[in-house]
Structure 1
Amino acid sequence: MNAGFRSLTAYGSSPHFMKTRLLTTGLLASTLCLAAHAQTTAQTLEPPTRPRIQVDDQSVVTDTKGGPVPAIVWHQMLATGDYTLKAAPAFSAEHPVFVVTPRTPAEREQYLARLAPPHESPFFTTGQALTPFKLRDVNGHKYDSKELAGKIVVLNFWFIRCGPCRMEIPELNKLVKQYAGRPDVVFLAVALDDRAAIQEFVQQRPYDYALVPEGRYVAQKYGVTSFPTNVVVDRQGKVIFHAQYHPNMLAYLQKAIEEAK
């Protein structure tokens, strides 16, 4: 398992965990796990008119206006698939500077198509019957797995300070909108955070799944210790897809939903 994802679980290890340590751990974890997916550590760049160039965390990276961009930030930007690194116009061996540049929609599509599929999570087994659950979202709505029999259930395990979790929310929202006319598809996001924190969070960053607060016990029930973890359960209550962060998670979740029996 990726070391960055493992370290995210420190969030739930103690109710008295210091806020400053939590923030530092979350940011470091985000950098470590995103680096693997964005392939930015010792990444090879291929500008059409320049030789192959190596870039790492010690490289100087700027935005398109020339402002410096910290490694932790450009790692996160690249991990979305929306950005790429290019050699700056004045690049030289003595002055190796790179620019984080937005991809065009066509470039992003090509980039995602080249990526390997997401790795299966270590917490579930494809084909296993999901252990029954009873959940309540922030609005008081109840979700009983027995009552959801015959429906497709899409689960997301997450927490607010998890960088990759926040990054995939816009894509997950697209999925919810895509299946808005399908009452047979249910989206549940199990959060480690409490109700008040979630309600405050979604005021700034909407999240369209049914949001289940204080879900640490649910994550522990399924052995989930790494976030985000996405799961799709078919109409028979069996796991048909389970994976962690991936820039193209939307496509894989959509595929699993469409193939669910």
Structure 2
Amino acid sequence: MKNLLILLLVIGFTSCKENKTSQKRSIENEALKLDVDVDINVLESDWEKWWDYHENNIILSSEFIAINDKSETISKDDFLKSLTTGDYIAVKLVSPDNVKQYQLYKLPNSADKQIGNIIKNTSEGIYTKFKMEGTPFPDFNFTDLNGKVYTNDNTKGKTLIFKCWFINCKPCVAEFPELNEFADEYSKREDVEFISLALDDKAELDRFFTKKIFKYNTVPNQEDFIENKLFVNAYPTHIVVNKNGSIEKVVSKATELISFLENGAILQTTNYQESLPPPPPAPMK
């Protein structure tokens, strides 16, 4: 039960609802061609096996072609909203052109009940994060541990990468090394800011950072802003804000954040290039 509660707090999932005739169909009658060699009957009967499949094959924060259980293309919004009922799982389909495709698969009445429970209790968080994308980031006035001030005005035109976390959140701290490495790659970029919003106060964070290194600029005492302005209540949460002040992406894992930033265009700009050595002097005539 303890492991289940951890899963519910840390990771997001999804589901949906349909008529009774769809519950009777078997995978042999489906148009599904799963991308991974897996027995769908085993997945639906054992939540641990399903979870392992989902964790290793389904990334709902990524861009994908969404397909319903009738093999019809639908919007990502409808796909994620459907998953919030706990009636479906997402399966990854074979794609000849390597385009990511996920399809809804209806859980029969005989399925392991924990699967539906986990999906139902976690998918709302995923859908909430998705709906944040494209909305303006709230007005802010942050002062980090070193006294540097960040506001909507003085960060205008910059890409802002936020992390919401707290000291006693083990998953939050565990991802420091990969975030530090990524922040180092962009440390010379004046148009990118890495800002961590922590629930803890300055004294606690100062003590904590004598033992841990985190290369984001950390702002203390942000519980009210995180929970009442951003409406975030799961940790860690990563938020990417574009140069126009709109939320571009919201994810729960550092790996998903880094994948989005590396594969997207948000950190690319024609106005920036690495410092190059000066050209050699012209030969004397």
Any conservation in 2 of the 1:126–1:242 contact (CA below 8 Å)?
A: yes
Within 5 Å, give how 1:177-216 maps onto structure 2.
177-216=184-223
Whether 2:110 is the aligned partner of 1:167: answer no
Any conservation in 1 of the 2:158–2:243 contact (CA below 8 Å)?
A: yes
Whether 2:247 is the aligned partner of 1:239: answer yes
> Quick one: distance in 1 between partners of 2:153 and 2:127?
24
Whether 2:164 is the aligned partner of 1:157: answer yes
> Quick one: distance in 2 between partners of 1:129 and 1:177?
27
Aligned length: 171
Structure 2 gaps of 5+ residues are 14-36, 38-45, 63-125, 271-285
**What CA deviation, in whole Å up to 9, does each residue of 1:196-233 have, x standing for no partner?**
11112222221110000001121122111111111111
Question: Residue 146 of structure 1 aligns to which amino acid in structure 2?
Answer: D
Within 5 Å, give how 1:1-261 maps onto structure 2.
30=6, 32-33=8-9, 114-118=57-61, 120=126, 122-123=128-129, 125-219=132-226, 220-245=228-253, 247-256=255-264, 257-258=266-267
Structure number with greater Rg is: 2
> Quick one: distance in 1 between partners of 2:248 and 2:153?
18
Question: Structure 2-normalised TM-score?
Answer: 0.51
> Quick one: distance in 2 between partners of 1:259 and 1:30?
36
When residues 260 and 168 of structure 1 are mapped into structure 2, their CA distance, relative to the original with a 3 A threshold, is farther
Question: Structure 1-normalised TM-score?
Answer: 0.55
When residues 30 and 174 of structure 1 are mapped into structure 2, their CA distance, relative to the original with a 3 A threshold, is farther
> Quick one: distance in 1 between partners of 2:159 and 2:199?
23
When residues 205 and 221 of structure 1 are mapped into structure 2, their CA distance, relative to the original with a 3 A threshold, is same
> Quick one: distance in 1 between partners of 2:8 and 2:254?
14
Any conservation in 2 of the 1:234–1:260 contact (CA below 8 Å)?
A: no
When residues 174 and 131 of structure 1 are mapped into structure 2, their CA distance, relative to the original with a 3 A threshold, is same
Residue in 1 that maps onto 2:23: none
Q: What percent of counterpart residues are identical?
A: 26
Q: What is the DSSP-based 3-state SS (H/G/I as helix, E as strand, rest coil) of the residue aligned with 1:153?
A: strand
Runs of 4+ with >3 A deviation: 27-37, 117-121, 246-249, 253-257
CA RMSD after TM alignment? 3.5
Any conservation in 1 of the 2:197–2:220 contact (CA below 8 Å)?
A: yes
Residue in 2 that maps onto 1:96: none
> Quick one: distance in 1 between partners of 2:262 and 2:127?
18
Any conservation in 1 of the 2:178–2:254 contact (CA below 8 Å)?
A: no
> Quick one: distance in 2 between partners of 1:121 and 1:35?
12
